[in-house]
Amino acid sequence: MIEPRGPVLSAARSKGWILALATAVVFPAAALHLTCVAVMGPGTWGSGLDERPPDFAVPGPDAQRYLSEMDAAMQAPTGTEGSNGGPAPEDVEGELQWSHRLEGRSLYLARSEENGNVTQRLYVRTGEGRIKEVSLPSGHIVDRPQWTVEGIAYVRWNPWAISPTNKLRRYFASWFSPSLRPEASVYLESAERLGWRYVMPGHSMAVSPDGRSAALLRSGALLAGYFSVHVWEVGSPVAPGLFSLRERDEDGARSFRLRWSQDSSALFVAGRTGGFDRRASRSPSEAVGRSLAIVYFPASRALWDLSGMGPGD
């Protein structure tokens, strides 16, 4: 029997080293990744988070007017996107979670619990007509339903609280079906499409008073407290990112809010932020945070920073 020598032996040894390296590094890394997915979820994957620094334009001569309207909008107890709680109208079963009104149309999201099982019901009323219940998809955890020009939109939280085996199965399937991802997503219902459909990732939705646009936040599980702000033109399959920011630690409360101008021409983002870079700083100034007073104009896509302005400036 002739033993392999020279180049043949070197090639065999190279293949052996490659296999050994794969066995020692690649396979364990893949196993660790799948284990993390099964236990904690896929982190920021699929969240739609858009890391983008703000690109501010020079404010126009009417900046003071928008600053005044922003202050009034932020001081109002509720925004145009709807309100939490309150007394439930007749024919609405359960505790009222959320209500929203747009151009003579009203909707109510109610919650009831029996034997530990929580049920959500959605009711609508047009004009002075009777309240009617709208069927919700089975298993959906619904948040902030609002009227738009194309029907009702709501945010759905798709939890990851399932068995590890099912998590892995759903993880791989979610590459082809985004609605399976463990994230908050927007769903839209309209009479023309006969049912609810997945639109895109997003949460903290605020629909404009005219129902044509909606502001959204996106965030990833591994970047807690870091968000990107988006505006969705209702009906479009995409929502371009405006900028990203870190919230200032407010003991669990959101340190900024999204509100629309009454004429829907501008989006206000106001409060405080820890900065626009996702990398947290431990400097005293970042710990306190900076004032946030940003105006976005969908028509021109201009972004104004009014944080340094005061009354009469």
Q: Are 100 and 208 spatial neighbours (Cβ–Cβ below 8 Å)?
A: no
Residue 285 has pLDDT above 60, yes or no: no
Radius of gyration in angstroms for the set of CA atoms belonging to the chain, rounded to a whole number = 25
- State how far the alpha carbon of 157 is from the alpha carbons of 5, 183, 185, 296, in Å: 62, 6, 7, 27
Query: What are 109-164's pLDDT values in tens digits?
Result: 999 988 888 899 999 998 888 899 999 998 888 999 999 999 999 999 887 777 77
Query: What are 243-278's pLDDT values in tens digits?
Result: 999 887 655 567 899 999 999 999 999 999 988 887
Q: How confident is the model at residue 288 (pLDDT cuts 50, 70, 90)?
A: low
Q: How confident is the model at residue 79 (pLDDT cuts 50, 70, 90)?
A: low
280/174: higher pLDDT? 174
User: Chain centroid to CA 64: how far?
Assistant: 30
- 128, 130, 109: which is closest to 120 by C-alpha? 109
Query: What are 7-46's pLDDT values in tens digits?
Result: 554 555 555 666 665 566 555 555 545 555 554 455 545 5
Q: Are 182 and 42 spatial neighbours (Cβ–Cβ below 8 Å)?
A: yes
Structural tokens at position 256: 């900024």
How much is the pTM?
A: 0.81
Run of H or E residues at 54 = none
Q: Which domains does the chain have, with CATH numbers?
A: 7-53+81-251 (2.120.10)
Q: Are 48 and 201 spatial neighbours (Cβ–Cβ below 8 Å)?
A: yes
Run of H or E residues at 12 = helix 7-21
230/37: higher pLDDT? 230
DSSP per residue over 239-278, as a string? Answer: --EEEEEEEP--TTS-SEEEEE-TTSS-EEEEEEEEESSS
Residue 194 has pLDDT above 70, yes or no: no
Q: How far apart, in whole angstroms, are the C-alpha atoms of residue 244 and residue 125?
A: 37
